[in-house]
């Protein structure tokens, strides 16, 4: 009886305490993916770093976020994963956007926008002129653009022979990504450009369907195709970057604090990559050379000859893809040759 009486007396106190205790909301769960990069790759490390920062800064709060990570091919191929981002089935991405939804996504493949790292960093940094243009293009697709994830300058990797001039390239057939203006750029540089899906590149080089791969930084050619490649010529025809972005509808549903955390974390990922990208690129040059691949840097005259040809032949075509306003900005901002 005494126990019953005690419990009766305590009941209002317990109830009041329960009412006054804050109830923590369920954590928001976000899917973060990359379309290019298996676990252990630089891209994979970047999304892991992004996810870790988001979770650490929100853990145990009402704004808690849990991040599920998906690596290359785990949710589909490059196009399929981009589709998932656009419709909101994937929330966050580090990707290399295709032009299937908007041809303006081809902006990042514009040939010879830059000739050195400093010019590229200045354009892509937070507040940079190219950062703003990319932000507007992504917004038109319903995507929040945080910024660029730079890899470095592209080149042409080949088997058996190589070229450093337009004339020398005329007898060579190389694989290129199919999206504009990649084929047009390599054709302007003298090569016979053939669009081949990523999964078929190794066999295509091995069997002689093509002489090599064009359009990647040396990391990709070393990591995936070094057994069938002999040369890497740093043509610098594009400055390769991924993009850190988020589905805009998902972004709009977040609290202001959650938005701040995600955005700050994205900037940290980009800043880290901007600091490390050039050194990392050189690391893979050294690795490729050590594996037996010959690495060739173009001299200033060779580089400018290729740049002149690509700008002359490809840039006029970009008006239909990007619009006159964007192309005019490129002409005003790009370094003179």
**Maximum distance among all alpha carbons in the chain?**
103
Residues 269, 50 contacting (CB under 8 angstroms): yes
pLDDT for 281 = 93
Q: Which residues of the chain have pLDDT under 70?
A: 1-25
3-state helix/strand/coil string of the chain: CHHHHHHHHHHHHHHHHHHHCCCCCCCEEEEEEECCCCCCCHHHHHHHHHHHHHHHHHCCCCCCEEEEEECCCCCCCHHHHHHHHHHCCCCEEEECCCCCCCHHHHHHHCCCCCCCHHHHHHHHCCCCHHHHHHHHHHHHCCEEEEEEEEEEECEEEECCCCCCCHHHHCCCEEEECCCCCHHHHHHHCCCEEEECCHHHHHHHHHCCCCCEEEEECHHHHHHHHHHHCCEEEECCCCEEEEEEEEEHHHHHHCCHHHHHHHHHHHHHHHHHHHHHHHHHHHHHHHHHHHCCCEEEECCHHHHHHHHHHHHHHHHHHHHHHHCHHHHHHHHHHCCCC
pLDDT for 274 = 87
Residue 297 and residue 226 share a domain: yes
In a domain, 254, yes or no: yes
pLDDT digits (tens, 9 = 90+) for 176-215: 988 889 999 999 999 999 999 888 999 999 999 999 999 8
pLDDT for 24 = 52
pLDDT for 177 = 86
Residue 311 and residue 208 share a domain: yes
Residue 187 and residue 307 share a domain: yes
In a domain, 7, yes or no: no
The domain that holds 227 is classified in CATH as 3.40.190.170
d(CA 153, CA 120): 10
Residue 73 and residue 222 share a domain: no
Give residue 56's domain range.
Answer: 26-150+240-278
pLDDT for 25 = 63
Residue 120 and residue 179 share a domain: no
Residue 320 and residue 230 share a domain: yes
Residue 143 and residue 245 share a domain: yes
pLDDT for 18 = 43
Residue 196 and residue 163 share a domain: yes
In a domain, 66, yes or no: yes
Residue 145 and residue 99 share a domain: yes
In a domain, 8, yes or no: no
pLDDT digits (tens, 9 = 90+) for 6-18: 445 444 544 444 4
Say how many domains are in the chain.
2
In a domain, 21, yes or no: no
In a domain, 4, yes or no: no
Residue 161 and residue 41 share a domain: no
pLDDT for 218 = 96
In a domain, 230, yes or no: yes
In a domain, 18, yes or no: no
Residue 91 and residue 221 share a domain: no
Residue 316 and residue 212 share a domain: yes
pLDDT for 19 = 44
């Amino acid at each position: 009886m005494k126990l019953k009486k005690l419990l009766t007396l305590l009941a209002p106190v317990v109830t009041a305490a329960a009412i006054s205790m804050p109830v923590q909301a369920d954590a928001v769960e976000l899917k973060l993916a990359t379309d290019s990069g298996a676990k252990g790759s630089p891209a994979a490390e970047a999304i892991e770093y992004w996810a870790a920062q988001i979770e650490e800064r929100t853990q145990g709060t009402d704004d808690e976020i849990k991040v599920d990570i998906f690596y290359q091919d785990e949710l589909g191929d490059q196009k399929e994963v981009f589709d998932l981002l656009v419709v909101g089935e994937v929330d966050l991405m580090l990707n290399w956007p295709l032009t299937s939804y908007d041809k303006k996504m081809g902006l990042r493949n514009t040939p010879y926008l830059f000739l050195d790292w400093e010019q590229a960093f200045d354009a892509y940094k937070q507040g940079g002129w190219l950062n703003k243009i990319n932000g507007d293009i992504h917004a038109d697709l319903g995507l929040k653009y945080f910024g660029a994830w730079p890899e470095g300058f592209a080149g042409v990797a080949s088997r058996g022979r190589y070229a450093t001039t337009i004339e020398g390239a005329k007898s060579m057939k190389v694989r290129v990504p199919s999206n504009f203006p990649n084929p047009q750029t390599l054709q302007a540089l003298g090569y016979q450009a053939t669009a081949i899906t990523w999964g078929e590149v190794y066999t295509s080089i091995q069997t002689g369907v093509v002489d090599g791969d064009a359009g990647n930084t040396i990391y990709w050619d070393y990591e995936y195709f070094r057994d069938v490649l002999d040369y890497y010529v740093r043509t610098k025809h594009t400055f390769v970057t991924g993009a850190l972005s988020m589905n805009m509808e998902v972004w709009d549903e977040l609290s202001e604090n959650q938005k701040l955390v995600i955005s700050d974390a994205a900037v940290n990922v980009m800043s880290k990559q901007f600091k490390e990208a050039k050194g990392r690129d050189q690391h893979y040059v050294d690795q490729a050379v050590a594996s037996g691949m010959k690495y060739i840097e173009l001299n200033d005259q060779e580089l400018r000859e290729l740049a002149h040809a690509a700008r002359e032949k490809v840039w006029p075509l970009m008006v239909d893809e990007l619009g006159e306003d964007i192309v005019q900005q490129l002409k005003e901002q790009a370094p003179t040759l």
